[in-house]
Structure 1
Amino acid sequence: MAIPAEVRRGWIVDAVRERGVVRVVDLAERLGIPVVTVRRDIAALAGEGVLRRSHGAVSLSGEIGASTPWGRGRVVGMLVPTVGSYFDEVISGARAAITAAGARLVLGIAPYEARDDRVQAEQLLESGVDGLLLAPNWFPDGNHDGFGWLDELPVPAVLVERRASPGGPGAGLDSVGSDHHYGVLLALRHLASLGHRSVTLAARDDTWTSHQVRAGYAEAVQLLGLEAQPVIGMKAALPRSGRADIETLAERIVDSVTSGVRAVLVHNDHDAIQLPPLLRAHGLTVPDGLALISYDDVYAALAAPALTAVAPPKRAVGDAAAELLLRRLDRGASMPARRIQLLPALKVRGSCGNQDRRRSTW
């Protein structure tokens, strides 16, 4: 199994911090990673200002030594449900902020299907972390049974891309996340500006974020005066159940177009990027026959055609969560708990058609 970039880069930063100045070839040999891969990772880290390259060697950026004093020497544990997609950018933002503060990030993964968050969090605690960044696998229906341990953590913690319900587990914790309701509003407002009076939402029902997108859709439809449509959902257990699911999704979208709806918002990129060729098999093209917007913007720009997408500020979320946790570690309980929501952006590409060809009916 390939090692995720964020994991490799964490190893590289740790090794450089330990040894000071390291030759790239020695670093590759020590970590057991091909030199070409190490060079690529070092280039990315140098671009972020984390590392400095010089004559075949690498060292920590000089900025790190003069960085924020409250983070120096700290170890931060981060628990995420997956790597290789959405959370990669969140991790990247957190790691850059933590490294720049002179602290170190330790990563834990509690897969969606395993739901072993507590076990993974305990392992991070046993490793001696000073604080935690947590993206718990809360059940989409709001049932947070089994997460009472969030209120008993022995170290400060910040919820990442999650927001606790009042009175629920973790309600007293700091949190930083994307405002997905606003993100959906951006998508529907754009489609409305192109003359669409109704938009179909296609969204899974097996993650916390997917339910935020569904709730945002209901709000946006009412706010914009659009005609509400039944949500096209797939009750698929993770990991994704495969080709049959996406083909069923394509068929249901074709059915919605038959009833007069010619715009769809799809959560997430994994599903949206597979749709255009399947829709073409049914005689439906994007964007001429259907305007399509993806939600997440991880791979949307790589589709054919490139997909207009809602882009949650993933890296900024990781950065802000890490900074908030470091401040919490420095100031303790004297700092009031904070709930921070960052606003997504809409990246307009080719999958909604020409904006100048607006329908006169709107």
Structure 2
Amino acid sequence: MSPEQPAEPAGKSLFSLQRRERLMEELRAHGAITVRGIAAKLGVSELTIRRDVNILADEGLVSRVHGGATLPSKLDRSAAGRLAHHSYAIGMVVPSLEYYWPQVISGARAEAEEQNLRILVRGSAYDAADNRRQVQALLDTQNIDGLIVAPDLTGDQGQELLRWLNALPIPVVLAERRSPIEIPAHRLEWVATDHAFGAGMAVRHLWQEGHRRIGCLTDSSSPTSPHVVRGWRQALSTLKIPEGGSVHDDSAKPGGDRAGHFDHVLELCRNTGTTAMLVHSDTQAVAFVQHCVDKGLQVPGDIAVVGYDDEVAYLAEPAISAVRPPKQYVGKVAVQLMAARLAEGRMRPVHRVELNPELILRESSVGAPQSPAAGMPQVPQ
């Protein structure tokens, strides 16, 4: 690198982490840097650059040489020894520590151990303002090098949160979230389950079991539901099932009478000849199946059910078939993306990964409907 290269624009301040990232980019591009040259290019003092080089050398990322630094050499035994003990710190913010997300965290922690990384987890809520508070707490109190987060992206607050995450000076990987088209968020990477594909698998399975009217119940407050509904609709279209005659409703009414709501859903099923339902989430699928059984309906004889998430579906009686997202792999791949980003810097293209779920078949959906043309019997009130 030449010392005559222009400095950064006046008044533009770089965070220390950003500065060291620039140093690493220069090293990867040229193999070596000089303290004088990089100080001139970044518009900071040579003392500042020496300190950055010392930090990177202590972490085993560079080898110090007179007047500058090079990429680590196998001949530099001190750097090699420190590298074995080096650990990046990754912050992780998830919206729940009880449902779905513990398995994502487990996968992330296992991969972090393999990669010699440290994970710092904070629980949040399905709320953009709280997501930002938890991320800010990590930034303020922990020396984190990267962030894995599952933010709430709904509404104006969610969109503003996404823009803020995209502008952070550290790399960010979204878990089970995607940036909408209207907000490009060009720096953000993500790993997410292809929930639309999972819903389509469920619908095709029910079709193969003989069902010709297949409904869908989803939790309208969940960020997963729009993808499930999209996959359900696409599968109906492919199978030539009229969406207009298919039951589509909430899986739960907030603050409402769940039994009354399920009675309403079953009445819609009877009127439309619907004999199968895809229900998100599978906690609601369990409640729906229990309600059907209490009303004297046969599952799957009168109505077949496939749940979505596969957290508790196996506990129902009968056990419920369910679409199972690869939750541990979501965490694992998120850490892999982060580790690669930290190692390669901005030279690495932005990666956005989708993982396919699998369909776990159980008693609730295996077996053709007793009378598909006539639909289910009258539901007792």
Matching of residue 163 in structure 1 with residue 178 in structure 2: yes
2:248 is aligned to 231
Separation in 2, partners of 1:120, 1:263: 41
Larger radius of gyration between Structure 1 and Structure 2? 2
Q: 1:282: Cα distance to partner?
A: 2.4
Separation in 2, partners of 1:113, 1:150: 15
- Over aligned residue pairs, what C-alpha RMSD do you find? 2.7
TM-score, normalising length: structure 1: 0.74
Q: Which amino acid aligns with 2:237?
A: Q
1:341 is aligned to 354
Separation in 2, partners of 1:322, 1:100: 10
Check 1:168–1:220 CA distance in 2 against 1; reply closer, same or farther (3 A cut): same
Indicate which of 263, 270, 280 corresponds to 1:251: 263
For the Cα contact (< 8 Å) 2:278–2:305, is it kept in 1?
yes
Check 1:359–1:105 CA distance in 2 against 1; reply closer, same or farther (3 A cut): same
Q: What stretches of structure 2 of length at least 5 have no aligned partner? A: 1-82, 375-381
1:117 is aligned to 131
Q: What stretches of structure 1 of length at least 5 have no aligned partner? A: 1-68
Q: Which amino acid aligns with 2:300?
A: P
**In the TM superposition, what whole-angstrom CA distance separates every residue of 1:270-306 from its partner, at most 9, and x where no partner exists?**
1111122212232323112110000001111111111
1:38 is aligned to none
Matching of residue 82 in structure 1 with residue 83 in structure 2: no
Indicate which of 275, 286, 299 corresponds to 1:286: 299
Check 1:143–1:85 CA distance in 2 against 1; reply closer, same or farther (3 A cut): closer
Q: 1:245: Cα distance to partner?
A: 4.7
Matching of residue 209 in structure 1 with residue 221 in structure 2: no
Separation in 1, partners of 2:238, 2:187: 31
Separation in 1, partners of 2:337, 2:84: 11
Q: Which amino acid aligns with 2:326?
A: P
Separation in 2, partners of 1:221, 1:193: 13
Check 1:73–1:227 CA distance in 2 against 1; reply closer, same or farther (3 A cut): same
SS in structure 1 at match of 2:137: helix
SS in structure 1 at match of 2:364: coil
Matched pairs, number = 289
Q: Quick check: 138-147 or 77-86, which moved more? A: 138-147
Separation in 2, partners of 1:117, 1:142: 10
Separation in 2, partners of 1:282, 1:192: 25
5 Å-filtered alignment, 1:172-321, equals 172-228=187-243, 229-233=246-250, 241=255, 244-259=256-271, 260-321=273-334
Q: Which amino acid aligns with 2:99?
A: S
5 Å-filtered alignment, 1:146-157, equals 146-157=161-172
Identity %: 33
For the Cα contact (< 8 Å) 2:210–2:368, is it kept in 1?
no
Q: Which amino acid aligns with 2:103?
A: E
For the Cα contact (< 8 Å) 1:254–1:284, is it kept in 2?
no
